């Protein structure tokens, strides 16, 4: 990987990047051919995003060099990268949601007619890009009215508007349905036909093998291998990523469901259309999965249990007593905890320390007069780091600098400090690599073995079948059925999910 090759569009050679106490990139190289889809894979914390941020001018590298179209470059910022044909569609979409679509695409470079913005040209140029990519969105729509997949399409259109020669896509399908993924792949193929190269970061193995031409794998900030996708299997990718053979994707189950702990009867949301007449039971030490298609109202049910949504009717009984979770604060007092789906937007305070993020759900416990007890804060944060196996230099490290898997472990630890009876998990492993997923599964398994009642939403069928004891299948706001995990199949779950 050291010699230069003029057939490559991009060559990142021997890149090293240090942060205080961390060697984030250690002599990493990456070479990308024009018109290719080059997948970049590795566990969270492997250095993929850091490498791309060095390319995109967000970070400056400490050592190494970047050749783009045969010339050495070092972009000082993302604006320079964009102007030179390198763009990035981030996992967290940074859009001005109160502005319309075309304003977001041409922000900072509006077409002008004299001193005024040429709205007509901007509309027509946006429409032309959308047409070329088969995107059906009104350029005058407010971004806040779009779905996540539509926002993503707008970001891709923005990248194309810069006449980019290389587009980095970071976890582009994490919130997309199967049909939306197919549409994205069509767009990628179209860009390829115009000789645009795509660097594609994803944890989804089947997807990687389907869309990419080559795969580069990183581990612990180091380059491991680059191979043709045709020569790789899922098992081989996992082995290269984690440095060991993960023949068992799920840990052996150690929990044993016991007495009834939670009974939900005829739960119906106040605001319709939503869920209605939902019934299920949960036992101590049981892991109940919730399956369903997009729009089946899985998240809404869990949010109602946690007091985030008003109920029109129905009862929630905990330990034989009716509880009324009118708010999340009341739900916490009643022994419920919720790990939300969108970790970055509703789960963490990214710029604040692991310590702060560990204790925030339980702040009253740490008050000593008007101050916080430093000793108790330190002890509980240490418990979170040790028991959740969080990899971090110190308690004071900002949580935003940790990998996704480690962030998720801190959030689970935070909620365990509230000593809940019922732990609600909404997509607990979304955007997390295969090695960290295994650790989260072990953690869920262990918590159930200690008697916690666990309800877990997941869109990944193998995950539900590998981790849960029973699965509640939602279909269009209704409970379509509850199946025994060991006795069911993906086909039965899909049939129930499409019932209503």
Q: Do 307 and 397 lie in a common domain?
A: yes
Residue 363, domain member (yes or no): yes
Q: Do 360 and 417 lie in a common domain?
A: yes
**Per-position DSSP letters for 119-175, written without gaps between them:** HHHHHHHHHHHHHHHT----TTSBGGGS-HHHHHHHHHHHHHHTT-SEEEEESTTTT
Q: Do 111 and 224 lie in a common domain?
A: yes
Q: Do 443 and 486 lie in a common domain?
A: yes
Contact 325, 307 (CB under 8 A): yes
* pLDDT at site 1: 39
Q: Do 44 and 111 lie in a common domain?
A: yes
Last residue of a domain, one of 176, 208, 242: 242
Last residue of a domain, one of 216, 242, 268: 242
* pLDDT at site 313: 96
Q: Do 122 and 166 lie in a common domain?
A: yes
Distance CA 184, CA 133 (A): 9
What tokens does 86 get? Answer: 């390198």
Beta-bridge partners for 142? 100
Beta-bridge partners for 88? 168
For CA atoms 362, 368, 371, 373, the dihedral sign is negative
Which residue range is the domain that position 411 belongs to? 260-497
Beta-bridge partners for 167? 87, 198
Packing angle of the helix pair 178-193, 119-133 (nearest 10 deg): 100
Residue 5, domain member (yes or no): no
What tokens does 393 get? Answer: 């230099």
- Burial state string for 286-319 with b = 16 or more CB within 10 A and e = fewer than 16: bbbbbbbbeebbbbbbbbbbbbbbebeebebebe
Write out pLDDT tens, residues 404-433: 788 888 998 898 888 899 999 999 887 777
Beta-bridge partners for 263? 281, 317
Q: What is the domain-level CATH number for residue 467?
A: 3.40.50.300
What tokens does 91 get? Answer: 């996992």
Q: Considering only CA atoms, which of 448, 213, 452 is closest in space to residue 337? A: 452
Half-sphere exposure at residue 347, Cβ-oriented, CA atoms within 13 angstroms: 28
What tokens does 282 get? Answer: 């949960």
Q: Do 190 and 325 lie in a common domain?
A: no
Count of domains forming the chain: 2
Last residue of a domain, one of 209, 242, 275: 242
Residue 248, domain member (yes or no): no
Residue 70, domain member (yes or no): yes
Write out pLDDT tens, residues 300-329: 999 999 999 999 999 999 999 999 999 999
Q: How many CB atoms lie within 10 A of CB 417?
A: 19
* pLDDT at site 246: 55
pTM for the whole structure: 0.60
Q: Do 191 and 325 lie in a common domain?
A: no
Packing angle of the helix pair 119-133, 148-161 (nearest 10 deg): 110
Residue 208, domain member (yes or no): yes
Q: Do 209 and 284 lie in a common domain?
A: no
CA end-to-end span of the chain: 54
Residue 447, domain member (yes or no): yes
Those residues with Cβ within 8 angstroms of residue 18's Cβ, 6 or more apart along the chain or in another chain: 24, 62
Q: Do 292 and 395 lie in a common domain?
A: yes
Residue 254, domain member (yes or no): no
Residue 2, domain member (yes or no): no
Q: Do 460 and 416 lie in a common domain?
A: yes
Q: What is the pLDDT along the chain (500 residues), one digit of tens a residue?
A: 334 445 899 999 999 999 876 788 999 999 999 999 999 998 767 889 899 999 999 999 999 999 999 999 999 998 899 999 999 987 666 778 788 999 988 988 888 888 888 889 999 999 999 998 888 899 999 988 888 778 888 888 888 888 899 999 988 887 677 788 888 899 999 999 999 999 999 878 888 999 999 999 998 899 999 999 999 988 888 788 877 555 567 889 999 999 999 999 999 999 888 999 999 999 999 999 999 877 789 999 999 999 999 999 999 999 999 999 999 999 999 999 999 887 666 678 888 899 999 988 877 778 777 777 788 889 999 999 988 888 888 999 999 888 878 888 899 889 888 889 999 999 988 777 777 788 889 989 999 999 999 999 998 888 899 999 999 999 989 999 999 999 998 889 988 987 88
Q: Do 139 and 265 lie in a common domain?
A: no
Chain centre distance of CA 37: 21
């Amino acid at each position: 990987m050291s010699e230069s090759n003029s057939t490559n569009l991009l060559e990142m050679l021997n890149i090293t990047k240090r942060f205080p106490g961390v060697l984030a990139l250690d002599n990493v190289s990456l070479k990308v051919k024009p018109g290719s889809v080059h997948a970049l894979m590795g566990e969270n914390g492997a250095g993929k995003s850091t490498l791309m941020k060095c390319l995109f001018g967000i970070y400056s590298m400490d050592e190494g060099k970047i050749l783009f179209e045969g010339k050495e470059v070092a972009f000082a910022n993302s604006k320079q990268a964009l102007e030179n044909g390198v763009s990035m569609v981030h996992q967290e979409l940074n859009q001005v949601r109160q502005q319309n679509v075309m304003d977001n695409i041409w922000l900072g470079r509006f077409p002008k007619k004299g001193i005024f913005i040429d709205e007509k040209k901007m509309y027509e140029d946006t429409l032309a890009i959308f047409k070329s990519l088969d995107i059906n969105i009104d350029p005058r729509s407010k971004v806040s009215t779009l779905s996540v997949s539509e926002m993503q399409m707008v970001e891709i259109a923005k990248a194309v508007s810069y006449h980019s020669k290389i587009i980095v896509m970071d976890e582009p399908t994490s919130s997309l349905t199967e049909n939306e993924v197919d549409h994205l792949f069509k767009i990628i193929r179209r860009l390829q036909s115009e000789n645009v190269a795509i660097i594609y970061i994803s944890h989804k193995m089947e997807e990687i093998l389907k869309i990419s031409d080559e795969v580069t794998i990183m581990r612990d900030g180091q380059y491991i291998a680059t191979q043709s996708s045709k020569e790789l299997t899922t098992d081989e990718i996992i082995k290269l990523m984690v440095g060991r053979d993960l023949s068992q994707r799920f840990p052996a189950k150690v929990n044993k469901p016991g007495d009834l702990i939670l009974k939900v009867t005829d739960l119906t949301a106040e605001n319709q259309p939503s869920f209605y007449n939902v019934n299920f039971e949960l036992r101590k030490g049981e892991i109940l999965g919730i399956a369903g298609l997009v729009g089946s109202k899985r998240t809404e049910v869990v949010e109602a249990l946690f007091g985030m949504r008003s109920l029109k009717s129905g009862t929630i009984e905990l330990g034989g007593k009716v509880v009324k979770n009118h708010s999340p604060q009341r739900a916490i007092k009643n022994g419920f905890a919720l790990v939300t789906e969108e970790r970055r937007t509703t789960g963490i305070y990214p710029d604040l320390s692991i310590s702060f993020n560990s204790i925030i759900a339980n702040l009253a416990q740490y008050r000593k007069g008007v101050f916080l007890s430093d000793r108790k804060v330190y002890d509980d944060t240490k418990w979170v780091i040790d028991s959740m196996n969080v990899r971090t230099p110190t308690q004071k490290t900002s949580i935003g600098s940790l990998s996704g898997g480690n962030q998720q472990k801190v959030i689970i630890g935070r909620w365990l400090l509230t000593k809940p009876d019922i732990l609600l998990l909404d997509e607990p492993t979304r955007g997390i690599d295969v090695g960290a997923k295994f650790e989260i599964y072990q953690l869920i398994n262990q918590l159930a073995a200690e008697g916690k009642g666990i309800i877990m939403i997941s869109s990944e069928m193998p995950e539900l079948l590998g981790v849960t004891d029973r699965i509640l299948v939602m279909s269009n706001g209704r409970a379509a059925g509850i199946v025994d995990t060991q006795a069911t199949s993906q086909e039965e779950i899909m049939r129930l999910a499409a019932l209503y």
